[in-house]
Structure 1
Amino acid sequence: MRSDVLIVARPGRSPHTESTGAIAVRRTGPETVHLVSAAATPLGGDALRLRVVVEDGARLQVRTVAATVVLPGAATTESHACWTVEVAGTLDLDPEPTIVAGRARHTVHTALSLTADASVRVRERVQIGRSGERAGYWSGALRADVDGAALLRHRIEVGAGSVADDAIAAPRAYEAELHYPASDVDSAGVTLALAGGGCLTTWQGDRL
């Protein structure tokens, strides 16, 4: 199944939303929307495409009502999600964690296009395996540009078959936050200041 979501925040207006497929969008506040699963997704074979636009002077918070559980499909174990984010105002994107069930393989691509005056916090949390599971694979690629200039190119994979996988011990949980333009933030992980402004914090462990 393919799911498409569009969210546009304009100053002085409620966010405009459109959605098709297995994801619905609900306006839960003047500047807040929640993503809701209208059907089980992502399953193997599913493709999710989400576009978020925050215009100059607008503010937007994006949340999810529950964790996302990635499951293998009958024909394939692989699913994909693509976020396209354009920000000239203020965006706080903080979904609940993604849980990758055993045998499932999920790939996420996130592309952010920011203006120099934008303010952004993007948080991502991943757990490989449900209770008692160690299998599952997740890969995430994050690209961020400011006024067309490269700010960040980041890619990581965790879980069974990943580069860091090990039969004895290997991370099964991952958390990251991208902040712009803030570069001094409290974090339980490692914070890397970016040359173009802002910072990336990352953490890995066994359980979120």
Structure 2
Amino acid sequence: MRSHAVLDIGSSQTTQGVTRSIIERMRSQGALVLRPTKEVLPGWSAQWNVPGTKPVMVRIVAGAAGPLGGDQLRLEVTVGKGAFLMLGAAAANLVLPGVHGEQSRSDVSITVAEGGTLIWNPGLQIAARNCHHTTLSTIDLAAGARLYAREEIALGRFGEEPGRFRQRMRVIRDGKPVYDQELAIGSGAPGWNSAAVTGNRRSLGTIVIVDPQRAALPQSQAMVADTAVMELSDEATLISSLAPDAIELGRRLDAAFNGLLADA
């Protein structure tokens, strides 16, 4: 299955002078179904210098099982000047093998203009046995754009080994790379389960934060197991964590991020 979804977010001002984000274009296709929601922003956003712009909230709903072997999925998102988008998956994605052993692929391309804000949470990716999948996510930020991007991976379902799973995430700001990391697990990736990579843990995840309105977030003093907090630049911070399962991974990422906010 080939699916190509597009989402463009702009902004406008009300008669009261309030800046409001609006959906300018939204197109779903096949397995990628976009649905606007009326959600409450996460509580931490009040501490994270998120602007007063009223946000647009959209969930990605699976229109079909998978990704399955052979699927080609593409999502293109644009957040305009001064706009605010919270975009995430409605549920976890189970990456499955296809009938003929073909590779599946997901490409996500997001552009955030000057003064724009993006909260991106694609949900847990579960690399099932015998899957063969590649994911590439590219987030291109203009100067002055804000970002909270969170990615989580479970290495197989309960009691099974993961298939072949490759994930790369790139964050570019003002034309310069801020973060570029690739992970490969399963057969064809020697040492993926060694102490240098996953350390025999079953889940791993990252949070990338870019906020030009403050200097680099302080180094968190919170001690969280198998979790590192690293400064990427004067305006960007990375949280990286390993855990025995997806539930504990979420707890560790939350604890490290909340520690950053507490120290700010």
**Shared fold per TM-score greater than 0.5:** yes
Over 3 Å counting, the alpha-carbon distance change for 1:18 and 1:149 in structure 2 is same
Runs of 4+ in 1 over 4 A off after TM superposition: 166-169, 185-188
Q: 3-state SS of the aligned residue for 2:77?
A: strand
* Cα-Cα RMSD: 2.2
* The one of 185, 206, 209 aligned to 1:176: 206
| Larger CA deviation: 84-93 vs 143-152 | 143-152
Q: Distance in 1 between matches of 2:5 and 2:218?
A: 32
> What does the per-residue CA deviation read over 1:108-151, in whole Å, with 9 as the maximum and x for residues that have no partner?
11111101210001100010111211232322112221111222
* The one of 53, 65, 70 aligned to 1:45: 70
Structure 1, unpaired ranges of 5+ = none
> Is residue 194 from structure 1 mapped to residue 232 from structure 2 by the alignment?
yes
Which residue number corresponds to residue 122 of structure 1? 149
> Is residue 14 from structure 1 mapped to residue 22 from structure 2 by the alignment?
yes
Q: CA deviation at 1:78?
A: 2.1
Q: Distance in 2 between matches of 1:109 and 1:167?
A: 23
> Is residue 36 from structure 1 mapped to residue 70 from structure 2 by the alignment?
no
Alignment identity in percent? 30
> Is residue 54 from structure 1 mapped to residue 62 from structure 2 by the alignment?
no
Q: Distance in 1 between matches of 2:233 and 2:217?
A: 10
Instruction: Report the structure, 1 or 2, having the larger helix content.
Output: 2
> What does the per-residue CA deviation read over 1:162-184, in whole Å, with 9 as the maximum and x for residues that have no partner?
34334996233110111102534
* The one of 32, 45, 61 aligned to 1:23: 32
Contact 2:21 2:84 in 1 (8 A): no
Contact 1:77 1:103 in 2 (8 A): no
Residues matched between the structures, number: 208
The aligned amino acid for 2:242 is Q
* The one of 134, 148, 153 aligned to 2:161: 134
Contact 1:158 1:172 in 2 (8 A): no
Structure 2, unpaired ranges of 5+ = 12-19, 39-54, 247-264
Larger radius of gyration: 2
